[in-house]
Amino acid sequence: MTKKRASAFPILPILIRILYEGACSQALVSLMLQRELPSEPFSLVAEEDSGDLRKESGQDTLKRITELVNDTLANEQSHSFSTLTTDDVLKAIDNGKSEGGSVGRHWVLDPIDGTKGFVRGDQYAIALALLHEGKVVLGVLACPNLPLATIGSNQQHSSSNEIGCLFFAKVGDGTYMQALDGSTP
């Protein structure tokens, strides 16, 4: 794309960033769920698909997404993953093509909930729910930019500059929050 043509589409870098982050998030969630729940039937309803990444024009973006997914998995100390290929990442993204339904168990993922906040570098969430027979039984919200000091009344356990929270709730088991690094704020 020429400089003149690129300037005619000022939103293009933002759209690429949303695709990039959304696809990475979706691939990682898909891979982790399948790794943690290998004996269960897997159904994931999600937003992203690999169509644009499979095109010639999407190959550079696909390469960057694959590198980020591999880097993220390499830093995940509790699991050992072999290095993934671009085909592995495309398959993980496309695992989100399930149509769900009111029968069985289905994971539902919004890889970037709050697109405007994400674009501004402000608040957004990665939202995941488990539906069983059409009813939500588990909900998870990862809020990477949420300052821990703004949550709850027990702020002495959290420094004012820590950010990133994970909220999760299970029907009949309560609601919980922890720092994204796994520690309790």
Task: Identify whether 183 is part of a domain.
Answer: no
Q: Are 26 and 47 spatial neighbours (Cβ–Cβ below 8 Å)?
A: yes
Alpha carbon distance 65, 89 (integer Å) = 8
Is 47 annotated as a binding-site member?
yes
Range of the structural domain that residue 37 is part of? 3-133
**Burial bucket for residue 176 (CB in 10 Å: 0-12, 13-18, 19+):** exposed
* 95 in Cβ contact with 30 (< 8 Å): yes
Domain annotation covers residue 126: yes
On whether residue 168 sits in a domain, the answer given is: no
Q: pLDDT at position 155, please?
A: 46
Q: Which of 177, 158, 102, 178 is nearest to 135 (CA)?
A: 102
In this prediction, the residues of the chain whose per-residue pLDDT falls under 70 are 1-20, 77-79, 150-160, 182-185
Q: What is the pLDDT of residue 156?
A: 47
Which helix (H) or strand (E) element contains residue 136? strand 135-147
Nearest to 45 by CA among 113, 139, 130, 108: 108
- Centre a 10 Å sphere on the Cβ of residue 136 and count the other Cβ atoms it contains: 12
Does the residue 157 lie in any domain?
Answer: no
Answer yes or no: pTM beyond 0.75.
yes
Q: Is 112 annotated as a binding residue?
A: yes
Q: Is residue 166 part of a domain?
A: no
113 is in an annotated binding site: yes
Please give the Cα distance from 54 to 67 (Å, whole number): 16
Whole-number pLDDT of residue 3 = 44
Domain for residue 177, yes or no?
A: no
What single letter denotes the amino acid at residue 38?
P
**Per residue in 90-107, pLDDT tens?**
999 999 999 999 999 999
- Give how many domains the chain has, as a whole number: 1
User: Does some domain include residue 73?
Assistant: yes
